Chain A
Amino acid sequence: MRYLDKEAIENIAIGAAFLGTGGGGDPYIGKLMALSAIEKNGPVKLYSVDEIEDGDFFIPAAMMGAPSVLVEKFPRGDEFVKVFQKLANYLGKDKIAGTYPMEAGGVNSMIPIVVAAQLDLPLIDCDGMGRAFPELQMVTFHLDGIPATPMAITDEKGNIGIFETIDNKWTERIARAATVEMGASSLVSLYPTTGAQIKKSGVHNIITLSEKIGAIISSKDRDPNEKLEELLKLVSGYELFQGKIVDVIRETKGGFNLGKMNLEGIAVNKEENMKVHFQNENLIAEKDGQVIAMTPDLLCLVDYETLLPVTTESLKYGKRVRVLGLPANEKWRTKKGIETAGPKYFGYDYDYVPIEELVKKVVAKHV
């Protein structure tokens, strides 16, 4: 167990936005909420997965809805107090032993910190994605057959709903509809899990990893190349491209931001080009017409000089970026993982190939 202080939270916010691969919302408001919560309630206790009891009971906490609403109407902060009690009663449990994030990303990495501070609950060092994805069933617990419900949903007005659904895709549909009625943003507690389930099906040490990533990115007075090297080593990643955004084509479909961007190579990639397809999150990258990374592997865009993560909303002409590729957690590379969040699910006609192999192929071709 260790305590998370202000500096840790600043770093987690940056690292989680990095792992958010372009999605996951505006990290600024999320960070303010978390900092305010520990200012008021004191630092949060972070437990590693090895430190929790198999038989104990845990509930993740997350926000659902439009990032553009969240920047205007954010939570009161204590919504989860009532929701956690209700859900515990419903499940017949007298104690909830801790909470954890559903995904990495600017906002949802921070919400569980708020909850842990408010309820004086342990925060567990794991999540259900190891990155960000847009839908509620795109979670490693789902891959292992754990149901998303019973789940609770609430808003800042005090409305509370408890759902039991027939499968996890229905959870997504019903929760999405309720979220719109609640004013296009809601707070959700779903995938109630035991310690044993977390140990088997969660993505472990993700908060610590986010913190380490953030610490490297925010370290001052260092050569960007040296920082990058350290970062890539930490996440077993690759620098796929150094480029300048020359074109961003967007469309909105069903509440999601879809699109692609074209990058023109700079520095080591002069005369080359890259295309990145995104749907909230960055999903596919093609270098000179050849696929070099695909979902569920992570495609992170960072600022060319500061290495700060770049969100999909802030893409614009002229921005200089580095495109980094990271292997996804092994759980996503299983048959069910690829079915749930692979290229075909998002409508791209590719068979998933791990980034390690794609990178080798492209390099071999160049040689």
Chain B
Amino acid sequence: MYKIGIDVGGTNTDAIILDENRNLIHSVKSPTSLDIKTGIEKALRNLLKEANIDRTKITHAMLGTTQCTNAIVERKKLARVGVIRLGYPATASVLPYTAWPTDMVGKLSGNYALVHGGYEYDGQLLGQLDETEIKTLLEKWQDKVESIAVVGVFSSIKNDQELKVRDIIQEVYGEDFPVSCSSLIGSVGLIERENATILNAALCKVIETTTTGFAHALEEEGISNVEVYLCQNDGTLMSIDYARQFPILTIACGPTNSIRGASYLAQIKNTMVLDVGGTTSDIGVLQDGFPRESSVAVEVGDIRTNFRMPDIISVGLGGGSIVREDNGKITVGPDSVGYKIGQEALVFGGKTLTTTDIAVRLGLADVGDKSLVAHIEEDFAREVLVEISSLLEQAIDKMKTSSEDVQLVLVGGGSIIVPDTIRGVSNIIKAENGNVANAIGASIAQISGQYEQIYIYSKEPREASLKDAQEKAVKQAVLAGAVSDTIELVEVEETPLAYHPENATRLRVKVVGKMQ
């Protein structure tokens, strides 16, 4: 039995094969293509050609891809979205698409409507839903929209109105018509949640091409009887059906796969991970093997959103970062020779002084021709290393939640530039096979389900609330393709709401299970 994992990165598309004991059988790297699709096909073809295994024994194929992110950034292949906001007359002072880049609004057709509905902060009715109002609107939108985003005021507390509207839409437009409900996508903060929901709705065509394209590429290679999954950004997988409903959750799955793959290779579940590439370094935190989530608004393609994203910071420091001295002041990066390092770095016969040259000069690494950097003064090289250290120290410190020292797992092609000791780090662990950590992360992932709602413990006791949330999370996990009797509770987060008189708590529950 074999599993295939493919991860599309900015520079390379990596593909690996693992056996049933998660041993790495083979890995390949090939350049990411402009259209992504042909790069995936090529990586897959090379992998299978070189590995020479029995293709009928491949049971699972996992894909971590940037196609959705690229579609948003490049404004391509996006669907025409209709936005229905439930809450009128409240919220009319800021309409949908306010503060969006205008080219993006044009691409999405800019259709929206504010209708009656919504809830108050304590779950009381803000406005009654009016079915006729919705149906009249749908009549008007016939043939004008390809996907609909439904957003209710305080739907994170009660989402029955959003679900009812979804039913009405699918009754009128057909049951395959794509509808995105905000309560299933974002958290509290109407504008940011609405924006995330609109983006999700806009991605319905992209995800369709992505999933059918991948299935097709597998078939071409004679792999037919496989379970196909897409990676989401929390380090778990989703089935094709689920991915079609929540394409936005694929955004930022790459860095997540890297840090999860790293922790798997190092066999450590709670740690900070530093992934050093050619131009940038990503830093993430794993808690019980899953990435910590970001708690602030995140911009995607210049649009402010609040859907679940991994808490990862990037610093402009990598193996190709350019080193300069100006009036005795040393700077490192943020610009880099990038993928041209093999020609431009001094050790490879080039003319640009990079961080890799410094690492070779100090004997931290042995790549290229070290005689080409022998002329660099040792004192100068040490000073550069101090600068690298201080950039990393500051970035690591930003990710900490207390002043205690942390453990650091180090991966990525550029990791040779990292000094042996960093202030604020207790020990550094270098992971083996760290150069394909991302594809390994993609192929070891499990399937999750998550549920978030505000519960009022004085009305619905804590135990009952927890049970309710867990049941709903399990339902999500099964929908995403998990085997129900393998599902375990992995995370409970309770946030008391200060302003609420009746002991209201935002409860978030996450479960994880094995795939079919």
**Do A and B make up one complex?**
yes
A69 and B121 form a contact (CB under 8 A): yes
Indicate whether B498 reaches chain A with its CB closer than 8 angstroms.
yes
Most buried by A among B92, B94, B118, B402: B94
Shortest CB-to-CB span from A121 to chain B, Å, is: 16
Q: Which residues from A are CB-within-8-Å of B190?
A: 71-74
Q: Which residues from A are CB-within-8-Å of B500?
A: 184
B94 and A76 form a contact (CB under 8 A): no
Which of B89, B154, B501 contacts A72 (CB under 8 A)? B154
Which of B121, B124, B296, B399 contacts A318 (CB under 8 A)? B399
Q: Which residues from A are CB-within-8-Å of B496?
A: 252
Kindly supply a per-residue 1/0 record for chain A positions 164-199, scoring 1 wherever the CB is within 8 Å of any chain B CB and 0 otherwise.
Answer: 000000000000000010011000000000000000
Kindly supply a per-residue 1/0 record for chain B positions 261-277, scoring 1 wherever the CB is within 8 Å of any chain A CB and 0 otherwise.
Answer: 00000000000000000
Report 13 cross-chain contacts, Cβ distance below 8 Å, ordered by A residue: A32-B94, A33-B93, A37-B93, A69-B121, A71-B190, A72-B189, A73-B118, A157-B90, A157-B126, A255-B498, A255-B499, A264-B403, A317-B401
Contact of A33 with B121 at beta-carbon distance under 8 Å, contacts A68-B188, A156-B89 already known = no
In the complex, chain B residues 117-155 whose Cβ is within 8 Å of any chain A Cβ: 118, 120-121, 124, 126, 153-154
Q: Which residues from B are CB-within-8-Å of A247?
A: 403
Contact of A73 with B153 at beta-carbon distance under 8 Å, contacts A32-B98, A183-B120, A255-B499 already known = yes
Indicate whether B497 reaches chain A with its CB closer than 8 angstroms.
yes
Q: A37-B93, A68-B499, A158-B89 are in contact. List 12 more A-B contacts (CB 8 A).
A: A28-B304, A29-B191, A36-B98, A71-B190, A72-B154, A73-B126, A73-B190, A75-B93, A76-B91, A184-B499, A252-B498, A318-B397
Q: Which residues from B are CB-within-8-Å of A75?
A: 90-93
User: How far is it, in angstroms, between the C-alpha of A114 and the C-alpha of B498 when the chains are bound?
Assistant: 28
Contact of A73 with B189 at beta-carbon distance under 8 Å, contacts A33-B93, A68-B497, A318-B400 already known = no
User: How far is it, in angstroms, between the C-alpha of A73 and the C-alpha of B296 when the chains are bound?
Assistant: 19
Interchain Cβ contacts within 8 Å, total number: 104
What residue of chain B has the Cβ atom nearest to residue A253's Cβ?
Answer: B498
B501 and A71 form a contact (CB under 8 A): no
In the complex, chain B residues 7-64 whose Cβ is within 8 Å of any chain A Cβ: none
A73 and B93 form a contact (CB under 8 A): no
Indicate whether A81 reaches chain B with its CB closer than 8 angstroms.
no
A73 and B403 form a contact (CB under 8 A): no
Most buried by B among A247, A257, A264, A316: A316
Indicate whether B87 reaches chain A with its CB closer than 8 angstroms.
yes
What residue of chain A has the Cβ atom nearest to residue B397's Cβ?
Answer: A318
Contact of A317 with B402 at beta-carbon distance under 8 Å, contacts A35-B98, A74-B190 already known = yes
A76 and B98 form a contact (CB under 8 A): no
Shortest CB-to-CB span from A345 to chain B, Å, is: 21
User: How far is it, in angstroms, between the C-alpha of A157 and the C-alpha of B92 when the chains are bound?
Assistant: 12
Q: Which residues of A contact B (CB under 8 A)?
A: 28-29, 32-33, 35-37, 65-66, 68-69, 71-78, 114, 156-158, 180, 183-184, 244, 246-247, 252, 255, 257, 264, 314, 316-319
Shortest CB-to-CB span from A90 to chain B, Å, is: 24
Which of A37, A71, A114 contacts B188 (CB under 8 A)? A71
User: How far is it, in angstroms, between the C-alpha of A78 and the C-alpha of B90 when the chains are bound?
Assistant: 10
Which of A71, A156, A314 contacts B90 (CB under 8 A)? A156
Kindly supply a per-residue 1/0 record for chain B positions 490-514, scoring 1 wherever the CB is within 8 Å of any chain A CB and 0 otherwise.
Answer: 0000001111110000000000000
B99 and A35 form a contact (CB under 8 A): yes
What residue of chain A has the Cβ atom nearest to residue B501's Cβ?
Answer: A180
What residue of chain A has the Cβ atom nearest to residue B297's Cβ?
Answer: A28
Shortest CB-to-CB span from A44 to chain B, Å, is: 15
Which of A33, A66, A158 contacts B94 (CB under 8 A)? A33
B499 and A72 form a contact (CB under 8 A): no
Q: Which residues from A are CB-within-8-Å of B76?
A: none
User: How far is it, in angstroms, between the C-alpha of A129 and the C-alpha of B499 when the chains are bound?
Assistant: 24
User: How far is it, in angstroms, between the C-alpha of A246 and the C-alpha of B188 when the chains are bound?
Assistant: 27
A73 and B121 form a contact (CB under 8 A): yes
Shortest CB-to-CB span from B75 to chain A, Å, is: 22
Q: Which residues from B are CB-within-8-Å of A35?
A: 98-99
Which of A74, A314, A317 contacts B91 (CB under 8 A)? A74
B98 and A72 form a contact (CB under 8 A): no
User: How far is it, in angstroms, between the C-alpha of A69 and the C-alpha of B443 when the chains are bound?
Assistant: 41
A114 and B153 form a contact (CB under 8 A): no
Q: Which residues from B are CB-within-8-Å of A71?
A: 188-191
Indicate whether B467 reaches chain A with its CB closer than 8 angstroms.
no
Q: Which residues from B are CB-within-8-Å of A29?
A: 94, 191
Q: Which residues from B are CB-within-8-Å of A317?
A: 400-403
Indicate whether B423 reaches chain A with its CB closer than 8 angstroms.
no
User: How far is it, in angstroms, between the C-alpha of A319 and the C-alpha of B91 when the chains are bound?
Assistant: 33
B87 and A73 form a contact (CB under 8 A): yes
User: How far is it, in angstroms, between the C-alpha of A246 and the C-alpha of B90 when the chains are bound?
Assistant: 40
Shortest CB-to-CB span from B311 to chain A, Å, is: 11
What residue of chain B has the Cβ atom nearest to residue A255's Cβ?
Answer: B499
Q: Which residues from B are CB-within-8-Å of A77?
A: 92-93
What residue of chain B has the Cβ atom nearest to residue A317's Cβ?
Answer: B401
Shortest CB-to-CB span from B96 to chain A, Å, is: 11
Shortest CB-to-CB span from A133 to chain B, Å, is: 18
User: How far is it, in angstroms, between the C-alpha of A72 and the C-alpha of B87 when the chains are bound?
Assistant: 10
What residue of chain B has the Cβ atom nearest to residue A256's Cβ?
Answer: B498
User: How far is it, in angstroms, between the C-alpha of A33 and the C-alpha of B399 when the chains are bound?
Assistant: 33
Closest 5 CB pairs of A and B: A77-B93, A66-B499, A252-B498, A156-B90, A76-B92
What residue of chain A has the Cβ atom nearest to residue B304's Cβ?
Answer: A28
A314 and B93 form a contact (CB under 8 A): no
In the complex, chain B residues 382-410 whose Cβ is within 8 Å of any chain A Cβ: 397-403
Shortest CB-to-CB span from A75 to chain B, Å, is: 5
User: How far is it, in angstroms, between the C-alpha of A157 and the C-alpha of B119 when the chains are bound?
Assistant: 12
Shortest CB-to-CB span from B82 to chain A, Å, is: 20
Which of A72, A252, A255, A319 contacts B153 (CB under 8 A)? A72
Contact of A318 with B93 at beta-carbon distance under 8 Å, contacts A68-B188, A180-B501, A246-B403 already known = no
Shortest CB-to-CB span from A62 to chain B, Å, is: 15
User: How far is it, in angstroms, between the C-alpha of A1 and the C-alpha of B401 when the chains are bound?
Assistant: 49
User: How far is it, in angstroms, between the C-alpha of A65 and the C-alpha of B118 when the chains are bound?
Assistant: 19
Indicate whether B113 reaches chain A with its CB closer than 8 angstroms.
no
Shortest CB-to-CB span from A347 to chain B, Å, is: 18
Indicate whether B367 reaches chain A with its CB closer than 8 angstroms.
no
In the complex, chain B residues 182-239 whose Cβ is within 8 Å of any chain A Cβ: 188-191
User: How far is it, in angstroms, between the C-alpha of A318 and the C-alpha of B120 when the chains are bound?
Assistant: 35
B121 and A32 form a contact (CB under 8 A): no
Indicate whether B73 reaches chain A with its CB closer than 8 angstroms.
no
Indicate whether B172 reaches chain A with its CB closer than 8 angstroms.
no
What residue of chain B has the Cβ atom nearest to residue A254's Cβ?
Answer: B498
Indicate whether B95 reaches chain A with its CB closer than 8 angstroms.
yes
Q: Which residues from A are CB-within-8-Å of B92?
A: 75-78
B296 and A257 form a contact (CB under 8 A): no
User: How far is it, in angstroms, between the C-alpha of A184 and the C-alpha of B402 when the chains are bound?
Assistant: 34
Shortest CB-to-CB span from A78 to chain B, Å, is: 8
What residue of chain A has the Cβ atom nearest to residue B403's Cβ?
Answer: A246
User: How far is it, in angstroms, between the C-alpha of A91 and the C-alpha of B267 when the chains are bound?
Assistant: 74
Most buried by B among A66, A72, A183, A244: A72
Shortest CB-to-CB span from B69 to chain A, Å, is: 23
A32 and B99 form a contact (CB under 8 A): yes
A74 and B94 form a contact (CB under 8 A): yes
Q: Which residues from A are CB-within-8-Å of B88?
A: 76
Shortest CB-to-CB span from B402 to chain A, Å, is: 6
